[in-house]
A = this chain, B = another copy of it.
């Protein structure tokens, strides 16, 4: 593979000139520059990014570490990040931590070792440690879930409030035994949404007890937990914390011959592409996923440009979209 010296030799100039000509830095005699470009083209020269990055001590790539590639909420965030990164000349590499702290740690290590310019991260659980990144000066912005013990940039959703609102909506719909299906303890969104549910129930004068289950944020687990909840507590409505789990819930309901809305009221977080297509259409708490991603990327780029900026925490609003599954 041709190197910069090959190009220099062929064009009859120094490597420095080649570098300058190809990077459009400083001023180079147009004629020479042209010669260089010709030589580069003739040799099929492809700059070695590794060498360049090593020398420059920086990389034009952003790492995006998300907890589930198969969740449309996160892929929408990914698109948001990518779209703004793109326009600033950054590439973004997506790493799937799979709700697994160990995988997450590994990807964070890779990000550090590869000296990416910045990281957008949706932390899996409580124990995420980004201090090595921060220590080295690599900015990190948290999305969806906060990074505790770190006062950094973050883009979150007012999720407790949204859960409260969704629960009230079910109460108003006449449901009297509302349950909640949420994720593992320590996953902040799972905890917050459960808290929102609880506060709405506590405020109600139609329901005293709470009925909830925690399980992994996966379809199969959600289905099993729902079956269990159904059999044990016979709830007449359910608040579900994401669309992946909602699929499991719908499967469980079907298995028990229960119809969403009529038999069991249903509200789920995340307006998945299919949410309006099931029967009855699913009432959801829509989160502005794309915006979360684009804002996070913007925050990150801003901080890369100026590391002294004070940390910014953005909290976006979610929107309850009423459809058939929350009415009898």
Contacts and interface: CB of A to CB of B under 8 A. Distances in A.
Given A50-B50, A76-B70, A110 B91 contact: yes
Interface string A276-318: 1111000000000000000000000000000000000000000
Contact of A113 (B48, B113, B244): B48
Interface string A64-98: 00000110100110110010001000010111100
Give this chain's copy count.
2
A112 interface: yes
A95 B69 CA distance: 12
A79 B70 CA distance: 9
A114 B79 contact: no
A250 interface: yes
- Which bracket fits the contact residues of A? 35 or more
B44 A135 contact: yes
A46 B78 contact: no
A276 B278 CA distance: 9
B79 A113 contact: no
A132 B93 contact: no
A247 interface: yes
B96 A61 contact: no
14 contacts: A1-B136, A44-B135, A46-B109, A46-B132, A47-B113, A49-B115, A50-B53, A61-B110, A69-B75, A78-B96, A91-B110, A94-B94, A274-B274, A274-B278
Interface of A: 1, 44, 46-54, 59, 61, 69-70, 72, 75-76, 78-79, 82, 86, 91, 93-96, 103, 106-107, 109-110, 112-115, 132, 135-136, 219, 244, 247, 250-251, 254, 272-274, 276-279
